[in-house]
Structure 1
Amino acid sequence: MTLSTDGRVRVGVDIGGTFTDVALEHPGGLASAKVLTDHAKPERAIVRGIVEAAQAAGVALAAIAQVIHGTTLVTNALIERRGAKLAFVTTHGFRDVVEMRTENRFEQYDLNLVLPQPLVARPDRFTLRERVAADGAVLLAPDPAEIEGLAARIAAGGYEAVAVGFLHAYANGAHERMMADALRRAAPDLSISLSSVISPQMREFERFNTVIANAYVQPRVAAYLRRLVEALRAAGIAAPVFLMHSGGGLIGLETAAEQPVRLLESGPAGGAIYAAETARAHGLDRVLSFDMGGTTAKICLIEGGEPKTANRFEVARTYRFKKGSGMPVSTPVVEMVEIGAGGGSIAQVDGLGQVRVGPRSAGSEPGPASYGRGGEEPTVTDANLLLGRLDPARFAGGSIPLSVARAEQAVAAGLTVAGLSIAEAAFAVTEIVDENMANAARVHAVENGRDIEAFTMIGFGGGAPLHACRLCEKLGIQALLIPPGAGVGSAIGFLKAPISFEVTRGLFQRLAAFDAEAVNAALAAMAEEARAFVRAGAGEAPTVTTLTAFMRYKGQGWEIPVPVPARALAAEDRAMLEEAFAAAYRALFGRTIDGLAVEVTNWSLRIATTRPAPEPVAPSRDGPGLRPERSRRFFDAALRRMVTAAEVERSALTPGRRVEGPAIVVEDETSTIVTSAFSVIGQADGSLLLLRKETLA
């Protein structure tokens, strides 16, 4: 695969729960590596993977000009509650907002409802007598003596970090800045996060949660980034390091260390960019991105060559698929659904004798039982191995030989208690995990008002090519694309991402009383802030600006994103905004509501460096068939039996060459399973196009 390059050597690195993926772009093309993640010191796996990729490409480490990194460190720290000793300062009377939440019962009849516990315990939540109105007016100025006394108490408490979130600070952050100044005087080494900087948006519960999450992980992320740079320098890599942020762009080290909450979905965002670039190259307007690795699976809608984005998402949900059961975070993010379904997902039998898969994962330490590294519980990888879908000698390019005997032992010990044979248990594991992922895709499509059968699936990640064909069968999707380099797709996506920064501001207005002057003043300040961040990483490179208004009908509890022209607005643009809202609302819900006033709650402005248009790929559907020299047997889930499948090297599928399913397309990074209902055709860019046989008749 040849990427667009200016001759520089660039590296994308994605740390997952099981594997660390490396993609190295150089003038001759792309080299990749996949190594097990080192959870104790993730930077060691990064350096090891970069060295392997550089050796494969014949590139000196000193020639690397840029390193782009995405990590699950922030997400894992929040889920596993491994963060800083934290204090939270808020307005007097609002100490318990993070515990009371929104009083929404997402599971109405569950008497034992379980919610995530706040990251900061009640004794560590402090209050200050101050008050700002929703329009930014100061109603009660804080007493300087009270501020200094509170700062002294926190400094004496041995805290590593402090989050500050006052009521309506999105409209006026002066009191938060006063508190921060006092804290810096009392404890100069303290990490301090302000809600007016991290998430200046309406709704105190979401805003408080976001600033708390940022403060909670900030010391750990800053220390990790320092270690990463030191490890790279020690290896002879002096290149600047950029981080992939959740919104699908790149930010510098300093910004990442100050606002690590922006990194929550950095790895999956890289995968969405990878799928979006593939969609643009192939001229696909409606795409379902399916990213499956060793620990999780991610599903994202991509329309018009752009992944769907949002300004809010949840982490650490206590109920799978249930909105409201997690910790809400208000930060720009590529919107996707993520479930615990990966190669390392552990299968078990529950109290009712049913096979369940995930969300627990064997990860890389110890890994699936077949890795031979101490794992004893059955996983999805073990099941795929027993069903003939993996070649035990070629897994991860042969670097991790798989043991069929250990996989059989784990499945027999953990799952056959349900009365299943080893083969039946292995099939149950893969079929359940496939149904879990298909159900997640259905829910995600319905929530966004989309008919999923009309989409093309793009599958990537080490696990997706094994499962994507079966998902298409379950979802009624006719076409599947496996791009080149799919096994390290997120890392490749990092190399294609723009340097960007998104700024969001709360500014509530009724459209009937639209104040263009106030909006333009806010937008100008937002543009200057975003431009400064982008300029720091990209200099004076050409940029593009996008503007989104978050709007709703009066009386509604939530708003929807509405794209609007990125320019100064005038009073007469009120009609344009109302029409844009009606179009967006109709696209989502199928109708509009007559007679209700429309409101704007937040504005979001994004500045990003321009991305070159990918080279178009003409679709290849007709060509000579390929006679494979080898065959292998695997279990075809739709037929419920073992089938004899052609085994084909991916490099043999040149443009137009076709192989009828059942087949297995093998390569170092992964294997693509072509079920009996599909055919696979090589494409000009090295992609594999899988089509239902009836569409080729």
Structure 2
Amino acid sequence: MFRDPAGAMSTLKVPSNSQHPLQPIQQGLTEFAEGQQMTIQELLKKTGKFLHGTTLGINALLQGQGAKTALLTTAGFRDALEIRRSQLKNQWDFTAALPPVLVPRYLRLGVHERLDYQGVTLTPVDEAQVQEIAHFLAQEKIEAVAVCFLFSCQNPEHEREVKALLQALLPELFITLSSELSPQLGEYERTVTTVLNARISPLVNAYLDSLQGLLQEQGLGVPILVAQNKGGLTDRLRAGREAVLTLFSGPAGGAKGGWALAQNTGLANLVIADMGGTSLDISLVREGRLEMTQNAEIAGWFKFKCWIFIRWELAAEVSLG
């Protein structure tokens, strides 16, 4: 989608390429530039805002891809990720298959530390054990670590201490702290959100780095802004560090577009049907408002911080100014 200085919009769609995700972006920009009788360098130099939405993270999760990830939890609580909420969608179906556990048990490691429910230290972090864990992570060629301690939402100090110890020993390791990403009550939800983020962020970050390099080489002089689950935008660095915030950005963008249509047409209530090649998503504008939820589900896993609508599609928007 392209918007000129007068506000008029035009669209161009090219097929996605899962093996080479940057290729459709290059092709789309090239074709649009040719249609405007410009070179791609002239087009990007005139670009005042570049907005990008990607489904790289959600596709990687659904295909079982992502960084090799370990989980560090409070000792005795490493199975919270597998126990989940101990609920079945159909409580009478004892044969219902559960989604696979995101981190195998041998990579879920309990750290000797403990906070009480108010965040007061009961047991300090065992630094010697963390050093042993770092050695194990290096042996296993772990690429990312999720750290989620009990009651860290009340006091992040233990998680921060472990991160500092690991970074000193394994500077290339990607580390996500639950206290930074999703400091909310709900041990399972907080843990699964942190693990999902650790697993996909290295992949998404590498992609966004490549995208920025490609566009800057051709003349883009403005920052790349990335769509989020909440329907807003964030900068490229945060999107690469907290890629879980992009998982539902496609559905959120569709819902936000429907809301904008309702505002422009003066309709207080609107049913939005957002159809792509693999899904049909329905959202509602009621009395001129969109509703948000903290909980959503992807392939049987729950997470925080997202719209509840789902769609898979790659899109980019350039505003010319």
TM-score range, shorter chain: over 0.9
Q: Tell me: CA distance 1:258–1:339, structure 2 relative to 1, closer, same or farther (3 Å).
A: closer
Deviation (angstroms), 1:51: 2.2
Q: Does 1:37 align with 2:16?
A: yes
Unaligned runs of 5+ in 1: 1-22, 317-325, 341-362, 364-487, 496-697
- 1:415-426 correspondence runs (5 A): none
Q: Does 1:330 align with 2:308?
A: no
* Residues 114-151 of structure 1: per-residue CA shift (max 9 Å, x gap): 11111111111111111112211112212222222222
Counterpart in the other structure of 1:52: 31
The TM-score with structure 1 as length reference comes to: 0.43
Q: Secondary structure at the match of 1:127?
A: strand
Contact 1:243 1:253 in 2 (8 A): yes
**1:182 aligned to which of 165, 184, 204:** 165
Contact 2:25 2:316 in 1 (8 A): no
Deviation (angstroms), 1:156: 3.0
Q: Secondary structure at the match of 1:307?
A: coil
Q: Does 1:77 align with 2:60?
A: yes
Q: Secondary structure at the match of 2:13?
A: strand
Distance in 2, Cα, partners of 1:57 & 1:257 = 32
Q: Tell me: CA distance 1:137–1:334, structure 2 relative to 1, closer, same or farther (3 Å).
A: same
* Residues 477-534 of structure 1: per-residue CA shift (max 9 Å, x gap): xxxxxxxxxxx9x767x97xxxxxxxxxxxxxxxxxxxxxxxxxxxxxxxxxxxxxxx
Q: Does 1:292 align with 2:275?
A: yes
Distance in 2, Cα, partners of 1:297 & 1:133 = 45
Q: Secondary structure at the match of 2:285?
A: strand
Distance in 1, Cα, partners of 2:288 & 2:20 = 36
Contact 2:125 2:162 in 1 (8 A): no
Q: Does 1:95 align with 2:78?
A: yes
Q: Secondary structure at the match of 1:65?
A: strand
**1:306 aligned to which of 289, 295, 309:** 289
Contact 1:68 1:244 in 2 (8 A): yes
Deviation (angstroms), 1:281: 1.2
Distance in 2, Cα, partners of 1:247 & 1:93 = 34
Contact 1:307 1:334 in 2 (8 A): no
Counterpart in the other structure of 1:65: 48
| Structure of larger gyration radius | 1
* Residues 354-393 of structure 1: per-residue CA shift (max 9 Å, x gap): xxxxxxxxx9xxxxxxxxxxxxxxxxxxxxxxxxxxxxxx
Contact 1:91 1:129 in 2 (8 A): yes
Distance in 1, Cα, partners of 2:262 & 2:91 = 40
Distance in 2, Cα, partners of 1:133 & 1:242 = 39
* Residues 199-237 of structure 1: per-residue CA shift (max 9 Å, x gap): 111111110000000000011111101111122123333
Contact 2:276 2:311 in 1 (8 A): no
Q: Does 1:138 align with 2:121?
A: yes
Q: Secondary structure at the match of 2:147?
A: strand
- 1:194-213 correspondence runs (5 A): 194-213=177-196
**2:203 aligned to which of 202, 220, 230:** 220
Deviation (angstroms), 1:339: 7.5
Distance in 2, Cα, partners of 1:75 & 1:27 = 33
Q: Does 1:282 align with 2:265?
A: yes
Contact 1:47 1:235 in 2 (8 A): no
**Aligned AA for 1:330?**
F
Q: Secondary structure at the match of 2:73?
A: strand
Deviation (angstroms), 1:42: 1.0
Counterpart in the other structure of 1:26: 4
Deviation (angstroms), 1:58: 4.4
Counterpart in the other structure of 1:3: none
Contact 1:31 1:54 in 2 (8 A): no
Distance in 2, Cα, partners of 1:268 & 1:235 = 30
Distance in 1, Cα, partners of 2:110 & 2:211 = 37
**Aligned AA for 1:305?**
G
Task: Compute the RMSD of aligned alpha carbons.
Answer: 2.0
Q: Secondary structure at the match of 1:163?
A: strand
**Aligned AA for 2:195?**
I
**Aligned AA for 1:27?**
P
Distance in 2, Cα, partners of 1:81 & 1:24 = 34
Counterpart in the other structure of 1:271: 254
Distance in 2, Cα, partners of 1:308 & 1:126 = 38
Contact 1:88 1:126 in 2 (8 A): yes
**Aligned AA for 1:335?**
I
**Aligned AA for 1:36?**
P
Query: Which 10-residue stretch deviates more, 110-119 or 88-97?
Result: 110-119
Distance in 2, Cα, partners of 1:52 & 1:257 = 28
How many percent of aligned residue pairs carry the same amino acid? 35
Q: Secondary structure at the match of 2:14?
A: strand
Distance in 1, Cα, partners of 2:87 & 2:55 = 29
Q: Tell me: CA distance 1:339–1:50, structure 2 relative to 1, closer, same or farther (3 Å).
A: closer
Number of equivalences: 314
Query: Which 10-residue stretch deviates more, 81-90 or 24-33?
Result: 24-33
- 1:536-575 correspondence runs (5 A): none
**Aligned AA for 1:71?**
T
Distance in 2, Cα, partners of 1:57 & 1:298 = 33
Counterpart in the other structure of 2:152: 169
Q: Secondary structure at the match of 1:36?
A: coil
Unaligned runs of 5+ in 2: none
Counterpart in the other structure of 1:191: 174
Distance in 2, Cα, partners of 1:257 & 1:103 = 32
* Residues 568-588 of structure 1: per-residue CA shift (max 9 Å, x gap): xxxxxxxxxxxxxxxxxxxxx
Distance in 2, Cα, partners of 1:271 & 1:293 = 11
